[in-house]
Amino acid sequence: MTPYLRRRVTVLTAAAAAATLALMSLTVQPASAEPTQHIPNGDFTTGTTGWWSTENAPISATGGELCAEVPAGTTNAWDVSLGHNDIPLVTGAAYSLSFRAHASTPVTVRANVQLNEDPYTTALSRAVALTTEAQTFEYAFTGNLDSANGTLTFQLGGGAEAFVFCLDDVSLTSDVAAPPTGVEQVENGDFADGASGWYTYGTTATGVEDGQLCATVPAGLANPWDAGIGQNNVRLTAGASYTFSFDATATPGATVRAAVQLGAEPYTSYFSRDVALTATSQHLEFTFTASEDTTAGQVAFQVGGAAAEYRLCLDNVSLIGGEPEPPYVPETGPRVRVNQVGYLPGGPKNATLVTDATDALDWQLKNAAGDVVKSGRSTPRGVDAASGQNVHTIDFSGYATAGTGYTLVADGETSHPFDISSTVYQQLRSDALQFFYIQRSGIAIDGDLVGEQYARPAGHLGVAPNKGDTDVPCRANSCDYRLDVRGGWYDAGDHGKYVVNGGIAVQQLLSSFERTKTAVTAAHGAGLADSTLRVPERGNDVPDILDEARWELEFLMRMQVPAGKPFAGMAHHKIHDANWTGLPMQPEDDPEQRELQPPSTAATLNLAATAAQGARLFAPYDAAFSAKLLTAARTAYAAAKANPAKIAQDLGGGGGGYGDDDVSDEFYWAAAELYLTTGEAAFLTDVTASRHHTADVFAATGFGWASTAALGRLDLATVPSALPAADRQRVRQSVVTAADNYLATLTAQAYGLPMPGNAGSYFWGGNSNILNNVQVLATAFDLTGAAKYRDGALQGVDYIFGRNALNQSYVTGWGEKASENQHTRIYAHEKDASLPHPPAGSLAGGANAGLDDPYAKDLLTGCKPMFCYVDDIESYATNEVAINWNSALAWVASFLADQGRAEPAAVSCRASYTNYGDWADKTGFTAQLTVTNTGTEPIDAWTVRFAFLGGQHLREAWSAEATQSGATVTARNTATNRRIQPGATVYFGFNATTPGGPNPAPELITLNGAACAQA
């Protein structure tokens, strides 16, 4: 995820006078100019404004004087001080200091004009002998250093007796030019925050050195604009005067073009100047008048066209002028907050009303024609901690008639429209999963599948200007080999690929599919079958979701350290650009060198876990790939055990850190997946020895890429295995207990989400954690069939789709007011109107009370947690996209789509599965199923379905017509056993081959789509 932002800071104002495109004096005014006053409140008519003192000398302004009570007994003169900061110090400038002062007793103090930081160099230092009568003191001096951080200081300490010091008519003038007026439009112009907010292209070795942004510019570029450094999203106001300044060097020398222009077609120029630079630093300052209003301006240094290579360094880049932006007030729409997508007919239907009322209010549910179809009274909930709003809740769950265009009316407000439909979430599953195809690296994106606006050439395959992922070195020479790490998914708003984020993302896709083997509402995977998604592999007889997961699994295996090298078998933590790129940037246009970061235990265990899970799921479809995955998983797990504490080492560059100093949870997850796939005792020993096996792994704020024990726990609870019965029951109960806790949280929150309401629960990417808590609720429903957990999962997503303080759906294309300007280089419509918004089904990170990017911090400081979000491409900490966030959405969306009318099928049967054991040569086994009709009506024609764990294959069956697709076996009646009377039982058996490994009885056996209780 990418740090990339800009902010605006208001500076001191003074009278403006600047000619368009005029080159200004760099430091000192002409002799005829009026001197600049640096003490704006020297007569104290505005009290003590602008003045400071040490804590031991409180100051006050009375009778037109500033007075301080000076204590006795201090050691040094500077132990008691008062003064005024923000004095510009310029070498060679003429200064004049004057003031009137007296003391309650004769005493000598010191007046200094000096640097306000170490080493506190003085430009003027005078002993001042005071009497009880006010005297005027005047001093002239010449500046001897350059700094904007000067101070006028009166040092009053060191005396044996206490006294009162008083000051008046203070003046400090110079011939230093007055500071420019207006608002600072450049973010991070001193590079104190690294290269944040700055883009580069066509350069190499770009980075911040000694507080300067430096880059090597290659020789032979044809045009100035063939390489550049700059900043986008600069706000300009037509007719406003701007001062553009910067410090720069070019070694050995070069001419660069400094420009302020429109940052998109037609790149209108507002200012442009070719500047000859040398190895000696120059301060350059220009003024110009903007010719039009824009929020898409650009400060650009076009640095190409030189005959010889040179090193460019920039510092103190500033663009001052224009008007400050008006205070940000979010548009929250109607005060009745609903799930803007809709509700299932048989599911819960809740809304939140923002109101000043403390008593219950009437509400009405209206259909599309405006007719009232249901009404009731609201429930007052008081002030919601997360939003700071006084709210009521509305429950209209009793209305179940399908329709479109419903609205809810209360307190004079009408909600956004919504639907009530059993298919309300059907398309969401496909949309949430199409995100991964469009995020693919190393393949051309087919516009016929996902829309022409998303079509693009393959990225990072070594086609210029890409350096490519096909032959990638390690950063800072941290290894002596290069790897082909093509493929995988771009992680988030950048072009990096990170194993730990890819790990949880691919796990949730695999688990979405694995759920279809054990959850009755999943209909044995019909919604995720081949040709159900928009992927190029559709039609290959493999479920499309597995095709998508394979794209990432292949990449994860490529990140493994080769045999014979140090840390062989471990996985490199990540691969990304050597330097940050700007927004927008299409993958195929990225010019930066790609680099591998060192391997880590966390990444290695992510590979082990996901490859092991993938091995059992791909076994029925591609035995060779399944074997390759299992080999990689075993190798990675062994390498992790040999290097159990190799914490991720971030060597810098243009990518996120993803550090994790506790990998015990990854060990537990990896051991769990390897045990479930192999059944081997060594892995079970590691599972049960982990502290996570008996701990509460379901935090109130959810799980994520850095806390993965829950992934292992969920799979141990749902995937068939030989885990001892008592232990398995305890594991399953831990999921149900966690779900009960989330239900309690959801009930306590007036906006109905399974997340606490304190600020610490609203953090970077928190929307995915909310959805991960929903996954736990949904899994509890799959395990128990208890409707309260299904209803909790359904209500839990209301927040994501608009039932929140901002009235904001966080999923692009889903809801009346949906996020569409997420932080991403690829879908950067806000930066370039020719580019698309993110595709439908893209989840935004969500409200983040930490305000971890400058844009959000400047815009939203002081926000209540639920309001700490802005749908702007610059806010990467609240509004980025990421694969591990969309994987959470994809898992939940698949569950939601499976619920239909949210009415669980009635259990009408009992089944028993008996495995009579392996054949003598261990290549197969024989089994029998018995199915009893426990209902009150005869069953005329029957179909039984169940799924094998992995690579078992049906050979033949008797007393039933049986077929197999993937791991799922379908057995249908024969002509002689078509009818099952109430209380009657049918039997059928089969022979099946097996590749070895565990062969547990299926968790789910269905009769005509209904789950059978198992004997």
The residues assigned a catalytic role are: 871, 880
Q: Can you tell me the distance from the alpha carbon of 79 to that of 57, in angstroms, rounded to the nearest whole number?
A: 10
Cα–Cα distance, 429 to 897 (Å, whole number): 7
Q: How many residues does the chain have?
A: 1015
Residue 1005: CB partners within 8 Å, gap ≥ 6?
911, 913, 929, 931, 944, 945, 946, 1011, 1012, 1014
Residue 212 to residue 851: CA distance in whole angstroms: 26
Query: Contact at 8 Å (CB) between 929 and 1005?
Result: yes
User: What's phi and psi for 14, nearest 5 deg?
Assistant: -150, 175
User: In Å, how far are 335, 365, 457, 553, 844 from 812, measured between CA atoms?
Assistant: 22, 26, 24, 27, 8
- For residues 176, 182, 187 and 189, what is the CA-based torsion angle, rounded to 10 degrees? -10
Sequence letter at residue 625: F
Residue in the structure block whose two tokens are 């400090």: 172
**C-beta neighbour count of 387 within 10 angstroms:** 23
Q: What is the 3-state secondary structure (H, E, C) of 242-257?
A: EEEEEEEEEECEEEEE
* Cα–chain center distance at 7: 19
Phi, psi of 518 (to 5 degrees): -125, -15
Strands 1010-1011 and 1006-1007: antiparallel
Q: If we measure between CA atoms, which residue out of 213, 187, 186 comes closest to residue 579?
A: 213
DSSP helix/strand/coil, 191: coil
Contact predicate 519/898, CB 8 Å: yes
**Could you give the CA distance from residue 555 to residue 497 in angstroms, rounded to a whole number?**
9
Distances (CA, A) of 349 to 146, 419, 423, 785, 806: 66, 11, 15, 20, 19
Pair of tokens at residue 277: 């630079």
d(CA 380, CA 310): 68
Q: Where are the alpha helices (DSSP H) in 362-451?
A: 426-438, 447-450
What residues contact 696, with CB distance under 8 A and at least 6 apart?
734, 738
Q: Pairing mode, if any, of strands 599-600 and 909-918?
A: unpaired
Burial profile 478-498: b = 16 or more Cβ within 10 angstroms, e = fewer: bbeeebebbbbbbbbbbbbbb
Of the candidates 509, 560, 519, 431, which has an alpha carbon nearest to the alpha carbon of residue 711? Answer: 509
Helix runs in 643-680, H state only? 664-678
Distance CA 456, CA 825 (A): 13
Indicate the helix (H) or strand (E) that contains 278: strand 269-278
